[in-house]
Amino acid sequence: MNEIKLDTDLAIRMRGVTKIFGDDPQSALELLRAGKTKTEVQAETNHVVGLDNVSLDIARGQIFVVMGLSGSGKSTLIRHVNRLIEPTAGEIIVDGTDVLKMSLEELRAYRRNSVAMVFQKFGLLPHRSVIDNVAYGLEVRGVPRAERLEKAAKWIDTVGLSGYEQSRPRQLSGGQQQRVGLARALALDTDIILMDEAFSALDPLIRSGMQDQLIELQKTLGKTILFITHDFDEALKIADRIAVLKDGAVQQEGKPEDIVLKPANEHIEEFVREVNKARAIHVRTIMERGEFEACEFTVPETARCEDVLPYFAEHQWVGVTNEQGTQIGRVTAKRVIGALARYTPGVNEG
């Protein structure tokens, strides 16, 4: 029973997905399974290990962020979900259906109706106007012209590009082009959205606005979003869960706080070092639970340290409330500073 329930809650399930680029992936796969590293396999066989035995469970309605350095296999991973890349080995189940067993016709229907993708390199159609680009997915799906243009216009407005409907992609800046790509994917209104560095070309202001919209979208419509980024701060802001990739293998997977506070290895520690910890640490993990006298200022338990810092200019402590708004504890400046110091390497060590 438990197993079945788990399955229906999962949007995307990857099991042992391995991808080796090259002419003879099977022999390279054997080397990899025999325990050789990506570098060794590459040196010996000239085959590139894109993904190495990746298993992920992405629950429905989550924002799942994949992080990793350049070349770590993030784009390769996301392309497996809609089978733009065929894995060398492994299993990919989306909404209970085995993606790798789909016929070409089923695969097309799946791509048209169930997954939309935003590309790192935008992939806009240069010969079409912005609005026709945004309406492209709907056009492929067979939506009548008037309806799809209406939807496209709405999304162009949402991403802040009204007035550019008739422009060609090349007439737009990089950030504007990226927003066209975003609108094109969002217009499809699919349950699963794949975003490959979808905000990388945006300026900080628009970027922050887009992050808020994404969270909103996930909250209100329950979308499952697989999001790739280089930016740990971005990941901390939007992620329900984070997986860190290195050389195609998952190094650690977990809640954002777990990654920041308990990095599994040196590689992740290095990654985490520069991160804004006040954003990563939630109030609920460091609060003192219990009855305290009511405080003038309160924050919800889902707030982050950075949200309470301003209050400490005037107050010794701040109340913490649960979803119903009742106070369940408090957090003091000392605790916050203690937490930040504890997880900053070199400070207060040992």
Partner 1 sequence: MFPEIIDTRPWRRAIDDSLNWVVRNWGDEFEAAAYPLLMLLNFIEDVLIATPWWLIMAILVGIAWLATRRWQLPVIVLVSLLFLGIMELWEDAMTTMALMIAATITAIIFSIPLGVWMSRSARVRQVVTPLLDLMQTMPSFVYLIPTVMIFGPGKIPALIATIVYAAPPLVRLTDLGLRSVDPAVMEASRAFGTTPSQRLFGVQIPLSLPTILAGVNQTTMMALAMVVIASMIGAGGLGYQVLQGIGRLEVSRGLFAGLGIVVLAIVFDRITQSFGKQLQAKIGLAETR
Ligand X SMILES: Nc1ncnc2c1ncn2[C@@H]1O[C@H](COP(=O)(O)OP(=O)(O)OP(=O)(O)O)[C@@H](O)[C@H]1O
Interacting residue ranges for ligand X, rule: CB under 6 A: 21, 48, 50, 68, 70-76, 120
Angle of helix 174-186 relative to helix 204-221, nearest 10 degrees, comes to 10
Least distance CB 12 / ligand X (angstroms): 17
In the bound state with partner 1, the residue whose beta carbon lies nearer, of 84 and 153, is: 84
Name residue, tokens 């922050």: 208
Least distance CB 111 / partner 1 (angstroms): 3
CB-based contact 38:72 (threshold 8 Å): no
Tell me how far CA of residue 32 lies from CA of 52, 68, 158, 264, in angstroms: 8, 20, 46, 22
Q: Which does 76 bind (CB under 5 to 8 A by kind): partner 1, Mg ion, ligand X, none?
A: ligand X
The yes or no reply on residue 75 touching Mg ion (CB under 5 A) is: yes
In the bound state with partner 1, the residue whose beta carbon lies nearer, of 140 and 341, is: 140
The yes or no reply on residue 190 touching Mg ion (CB under 5 A) is: no
Least distance CB 108 / partner 1 (angstroms): 4
Distance, CA of 71 to CA of 247 (rounded, Å): 7
Least distance CB 128 / ligand X (angstroms): 25
Distance, CA of 145 to CA of 187 (rounded, Å): 14
Give the DSSP per-residue string, 18-66: EEEESS-HHHHHHHHHTT--HHHHHHHH--EEEEEEEEEEEETT-EEEE
Distance, CA of 76 to CA of 52 (rounded, Å): 11
Residues that bind partner 1 (CB under 8 A): 82, 84, 107-113, 115-117, 119, 121-127, 136-137, 140-141, 168-171, 188
CB-based contact 329:322 (threshold 8 Å): no
Least distance CB 117 / partner 1 (angstroms): 5
In the bound state with ligand X, the residue whose beta carbon lies nearer, of 143 and 228, is: 228
CB-based contact 229:67 (threshold 8 Å): yes
Q: Which does 136 bind (CB under 5 to 8 A by kind): partner 1, ligand X, Mg ion, none?
A: partner 1
In the bound state with ligand X, the residue whose beta carbon lies nearer, of 47 and 284, is: 47
Instruction: Classify residue 346 as left (phi > 0), alpha (psi -120 to 50) or beta.
Output: left
In the bound state with Mg ion, the residue whose beta carbon lies nearer, of 130 and 245, is: 245
Q: Which does 21 bind (CB under 5 to 8 A by kind): ligand X, Mg ion, partner 1, none?
A: ligand X
Q: Are strands 317-321 and 298-300 parallel, antiparallel or unpaired?
A: parallel
Helices of type H across 202-276: 204-221, 232-238, 256-261, 266-273
In the bound state with ligand X, the residue whose beta carbon lies nearer, of 207 and 330, is: 207
Least distance CB 135 / ligand X (angstroms): 28
Least distance CB 49 / ligand X (angstroms): 7
3-state secondary structure of 291: coil
Least distance CB 22 / partner 1 (angstroms): 17
In the bound state with partner 1, the residue whose beta carbon lies nearer, of 171 and 302, is: 171
Q: Which does 255 bind (CB under 5 to 8 A by kind): partner 1, Mg ion, ligand X, none?
A: none
Name residues contacting Mg ion, limited to 312-341 (CB under 5 A). Answer: none
Distance, CA of 260 to CA of 269 (rounded, Å): 8
Binding site for Mg ion (CB under 5 A): 75, 120
